[in-house]
């Protein structure tokens, strides 16, 4: 269906038209996010190609590169429907775009409400994810960097307590473990003094074997889950602003697509009305 810049009178005498402002605003809105989705997919594919295949397959559910690829592909499909649908004035593609955005928005809203209501179950799920990430710490360099970053930024070690690192085969504290890192914790758990010229990168060696108070002199002993919960409680307004920032583009996309769909439908009804009266002028 071609572009309609000029209005045409309807059966009730009012003019109906497809607004070029709405049409191209929706197109550029989707085009920007379409480019972002391509970048996300490209980064995810590059990160996956740089890993060993067997290591990557061992930890798909917690692989940041895989998550980036999945989100990027979904964004690509949805924004592609929005771009082509708005440019070609295709009602089917626009409705697909609008429905997908609505579903995503409702899922995000439901996840936020359920996470707040069932906070204990959400905490258990986060604990499960962190424990799985600890198990695969050495299998994925991206996951390793992500965990190290989190432990340094939050000043924590492990999920609930620093001895959670015994779940990892390299840091496991059993006597049968032949690893040189047995009973240790990652370097990101260490307390680093800014006054020291030379940093001891082996400061986490054997920390799981010592007493809790003694370990606290060298590493972070508190788990990251409690630190994360405290951080969320302290930054509720910031997180609310981020959530609103993510919701606004979705609501704008839904609003613009619905306006364009209604305008196109009005044009189709008008054409059908005119064709009917041209073929049957006495009706």
- The alpha-helical segments, DSSP class H, found in 136-280 are 141-154, 212-215, 224-234, 236-279
CA 19-98-20 angle, 5° bins: 10
Three-state secondary structure call for residue 9: strand
Number of Cβ within 10 Å of residue 260's Cβ equals: 25
Residue with tokens 């939050």: 154
List all residues 6 or more positions away from 113 whose beta carbon is below 8 Å from its beta carbon.
none
pLDDT value of residue 6: 42
Residues of the chain with CATH 1.10.1450: 137-232
CATH number corresponding to 137-232: 1.10.1450
pLDDT value of residue 66: 79
Is residue 52 very low, low, confident or very high in pLDDT (cuts 50, 70, 90)?
A: low
Q: What is the helix (H) or strand (E) element at residue 112, kind and residue range?
A: helix 91-117
Residue whose C-alpha is closest to residue 216's, from 165, 156, 176, 258: 156
Q: What is the helix (H) or strand (E) element at residue 8, kind and residue range?
A: strand 8-9
For 95-153, the pLDDT digits (tens) are 999 999 999 999 988 887 887 777 778 788 888 888 888 998 988 787 888 899 999 99
């Amino acid at each position: 269906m071609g572009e309609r810049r000029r209005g045409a009178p309807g059966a009730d005498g009012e003019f109906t038209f497809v607004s070029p402002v709405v049409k191209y605003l929706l197109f550029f809105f989707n085009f920007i996010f379409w480019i972002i989705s391509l970048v996300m997919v490209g980064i995810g594919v590059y990160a996956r190609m740089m890993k060993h295949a067997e290591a990557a397959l061992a930890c798909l559910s917690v692989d940041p590169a895989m998550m980036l690829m999945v989100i990027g592909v979904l964004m690509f499909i949805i924004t592609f429907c929005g771009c082509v649908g708005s440019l070609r004035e295709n009602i089917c593609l626009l409705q697909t775009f609008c429905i997908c955005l609505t579903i995503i928005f409702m899922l995000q809203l439901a996840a936020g409400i359920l996470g707040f209501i069932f906070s204990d179950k959400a905490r258990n799920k986060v604990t499960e994810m962190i424990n799985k990430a600890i198990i695969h710490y050495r299998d994925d360099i991206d996951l390793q960097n992500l965990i190290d970053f989190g432990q340094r930024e939050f000043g924590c070690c492990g999920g609930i307590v620093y001895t959670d690192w015994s779940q990892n085969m390299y840091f496991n504290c059993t006597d049968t473990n032949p690893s040189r890192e047995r009973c240790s914790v990652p370097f990101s758990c260490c307390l680093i003094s800014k006054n020291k010229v030379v940093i001891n990168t082996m400061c986490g060696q054997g920390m799981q074997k010592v007493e809790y108070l003694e370990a606290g002199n060298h590493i972070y002993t508190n788990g990251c889950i409690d630190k994360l919960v405290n951080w969320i409680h302290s930054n509720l307004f910031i997180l609310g602003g981020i959530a609103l920032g993510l919701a606004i583009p979705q609501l704008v996309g839904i609003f613009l697509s619905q306006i364009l769909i209604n305008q196109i439908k009005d044009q189709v009804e008008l054409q059908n009305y005119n064709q009917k009266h041209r073929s049957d002028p006495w009706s």
